[in-house]
Structure 1
C-alpha cells in the first residue's frame, strides 16, 4: 500500500477531493471507526468537535440518485492531520450508517463535505471543562480530549459518559490510557446494567445530580459540553438549571442536525419554574386546594396545608414520596427514585416536582 505523505506545501484538504478509506476499526457492537486520507497527500485542518458530511452511495445501481448525505462528528483530532476519522453507530432505522458498516472498506473513495460546525472547546477557552456524553455522543469529546493530550495543554477535564452497558462504551480503553498518564483528566462512566459475567465497579443507573456532584464537585466552575440523544441532553440541562449552573457556560451538539454556524443555532427554551409565578395544587383525596408558587414543591405545599405525604431523602432518590398526578403539569428533576414506567403511568415524586399552573394529585 502506498505510504501516506503529508504535503505541507499543498493546501489543506478541501471537499473538491474524494476521501479514500484507509482503515476500519470495530469499536463496539454495531459501531466502527472509519479512517480516511486525501490521496493527494493534503492535510486536514479543522477544530476538534466539528463534523463532516459524507455522500454515501447506498444504492450504487441508481447512480447519484441513490446517494444519501449523512453528517458525522469527527472523532479524530486535528493534532494528527494525516488522516481524519468518524466513528459511527448503527441505529435500528439507520440507512447510511449500515451501508458504511457493510460496504465501506479500505480503498473505497467517497465524496465528503466540510468540515464545519460550532461545537468545539476552541471557541470557548476555559481553565476547566466538563464533558458529558451518552452513546455515540462521545465522539466530539474524544476529539477534544485527544487534542488536549497531543497539544500538551494543561486543561482540567472531567469526562462523564453514560452507556447502556460497559461493552457499549466507545473508546473506553483509549481514554483509560490517557487517564493512566496524566493528572489533568478525570474519567467517569455510568451504565444502565453490567455485562453478563462481567464485574462492574463504576456507577450504575441514569446520570443524576448526585452522581454529577460526586464526579465533578466543582461543576459550577466548569465550561460544560454535552452531546447525546435529545432526552439525555434535556435531562442534563434540567439537572444543571436546578443546581444553579450558569447556562451561558453550557454548550451542546445534537445527533439530529449539527449546527454549522452560530446564526443557525436554535434557542434552547427549557421549562423552568419561574420565581414569583403563581400555581395551584388540588389534593383530591383530602379536598384541599392550595395556592402556591411554581418554585414550591408538591411536598412542601402539602406539609404547609397540614397534609402528610410520606417522604425520606427529599431529593428524588428514595422514591418514598411517589404519588399519582391526576391532571396538570409538573417540572420534576429526580435522582433515580422513580422509573420511566411509573412516570408514563402518571406518578411523580412530590419532593422534587414543581407545579406549572394548576395541578391535581391523589393525596
Structure 2
C-alpha cells in the first residue's frame, strides 16, 4: 500500500497546540513580516513572527533593535515594541516615516508582507511592569507625543488584556485628528473599561477633511488640570520627541509634582537614530565629559583610532569611550542610546582590542567575530575600525 505524502506542519496550528519555546535571538534572530497596518498617513505597524513557532516574552515598554541590510550597508535601529506580551505569538513595531530618514523610509517603502528582518532584544527598562507584574501604583497618567505613543500603548494593551483594575488616564498629543495613532483602538479600550481608562487626545490643528472639536493646542498645565486634576497623585510615564518630554518635565516640576514618580523614555529611538550625527548637544556632552576627565584623571595611555571608510584617524585616551572621542574630534558615527543597549553604533574592529562593558546590545557571536559597541568600548590598543 502506497504511503501518503507527508503533510507540512501548519505554523498557525503549532502556535495553538500548546506550550512553545521562547524566542531566542542568540539562536535565531530571523523574524518574518506577517502583516503591515497603516495607522496614519505616515505611520505603519509591522507585525513580526519567528520562522519557527515560539513565543515572545518582554515587559511592556521595551524595545527591539533591528539589524538591517540597506543597500549593502549594515544598519542597526531601535524601535519600541507596540504590541502586548499577553499575545505572545507575534510582536509588532510601529514606525513613523522620518523625512530623509534612511531606515524609516526603507521600512515603509521596501518592506512587505513576507519580508525577513533580523532583530535583537527585547531590551530596556521603561515599563510600569516589574518582573512581569504591574507596579503597585493604583493610578497612572500616560503622556505621549507623536510616535512616542508606542511604549505606552504596549502598557495600555497589557492592562486591558489582563483586565487589571487600574485607573489610567492616557493623554496623546498629535498634529491633527488624522495623526492620532491607534485612535480607534484607544477609544474602544475606553469603552471597554468605563471608569478605569480615559483617553484624551489633544490636537494642534484640524485635518483636511476632519475638523477637530476636542482639546486643542499643546499640552500645558491648564489642559492637564482639566483632563486629570488629580495628576499629582498618579504615577506618570512620558514618551515622545525630546522637546515634548522636556516641556512635560518642566511643567510637572513647576506644578510641584513629586518627580520620583515621573518616568520617561531615556532616549527617542527613531529621532536620535535617524539624526544622530546632527545632535549637537551630544557633542557638547562628550566635550564636557572629556574636560572633566582631563582635569581629574591621572595620566593615561593615548591610542590611535583609524576609521577606514571615513579616512580619518583620531586620538583616544584609554579612559574614554571610542564614540565620545570620535564626537569630540568631529567624526560622525551612528549612535542612539550611548548605553550599550541598542546596537546602533555596532562596528567591526579590523584590528586592535577594546574593553567593552555593554548592556545587551551585542551578541556573543558578534563579539567573537570582532564586532564592538563603540559607545561602551575603551581602547586597550591602537584600533582600526570599519567605519
Is TM more than 0.5 here? yes
Task: Quote the offset at 1:199 in angstroms.
Answer: 2.6
Cα distance 1:234–1:119, how it changes in 2: closer, same or farther (>3 A)? same
Match of 1:165 in 2: 176
How far apart, in 2, do the equivalents of 1:67 and 1:25 lie?
Answer: 26
Match of 2:21 in 1: 11
Which residue, 210, 227, 234 being the options, matches 1:222? 234
Task: Quote the offset at 1:8 in angstroms.
Answer: 4.9
Match of 1:155 in 2: 166
TM-score by length of 2: 0.63
How far apart, in 2, do the equivalents of 1:171 and 1:178 lie?
Answer: 11
Match of 2:122 in 1: 115
Check whether the contact 2:11–2:53 (CA below 8 A) recurs between aligned residues. no
The residue matched to 1:97 in structure 2 has which SS? Answer: helix
Greater Rg over alpha carbons, structure: 1
Unaligned runs of 5+ in 1: 259-363
Check whether the contact 1:8–1:43 (CA below 8 A) recurs between aligned residues. no
How far apart, in 2, do the equivalents of 1:100 and 1:2 lie?
Answer: 28
How far apart, in 1, do the equivalents of 2:18 and 2:240 lie?
Answer: 36
Aligned length: 254
TM-score by length of 1: 0.67
Match of 1:145 in 2: 156
How far apart, in 1, do the equivalents of 2:209 and 2:158 lie?
Answer: 35
Match of 2:83 in 1: 76
The residue matched to 2:170 in structure 1 has which SS? Answer: strand
What does residue range 13-162 of structure 1 map to in structure 2 within 5 Å? 13-15=23-25, 16-17=27-28, 18-59=30-71, 62=72, 66-123=73-130, 124-162=135-173
Q: Alpha carbon RMSD of aligned pairs, Å?
A: 1.8
Check whether the contact 1:8–1:42 (CA below 8 A) recurs between aligned residues. no
Which residue, 182, 199, 202 being the options, matches 1:190? 202
The residue matched to 2:59 in structure 1 has which SS? Answer: coil
Task: Quote the offset at 1:10 in angstroms.
Answer: 3.9
Check whether the contact 1:130–1:159 (CA below 8 A) recurs between aligned residues. yes
Deviations 1:95-125 (A, max 9, x none): 1111111111121212100001001111343
Unaligned runs of 5+ in 2: 1-8, 272-387
Task: Quote the offset at 1:49 in angstroms.
Answer: 0.7
Deviations 1:248-271 (A, max 9, x none): 00000131489xxxxxxxxxxxxx
Match of 2:211 in 1: 199
What does residue range 340-355 of structure 1 map to in structure 2 within 5 Å? none
How far apart, in 1, do the equivalents of 2:270 and 2:109 lie?
Answer: 24
The residue matched to 2:149 in structure 1 has which SS? Answer: helix
Match of 2:278 in 1: none
The residue matched to 1:137 in structure 2 has which SS? Answer: helix
Task: Quote the offset at 1:196 in angstroms.
Answer: 2.3
How far apart, in 2, do the equivalents of 1:132 and 1:238 lie?
Answer: 14
* Aligned structure 1 segments of 4 or more residues deviating by more than 3 angstroms: 7-10
Deviations 1:116-158 (A, max 9, x none): 1001111343100000000000011110000000011111100
Which residue, 255, 262, 270 being the options, matches 1:243? 255
How far apart, in 2, do the equivalents of 1:147 and 1:13 lie?
Answer: 19
Check whether the contact 1:159–1:186 (CA below 8 A) recurs between aligned residues. yes
How far apart, in 2, do the equivalents of 1:69 and 1:13 lie?
Answer: 20
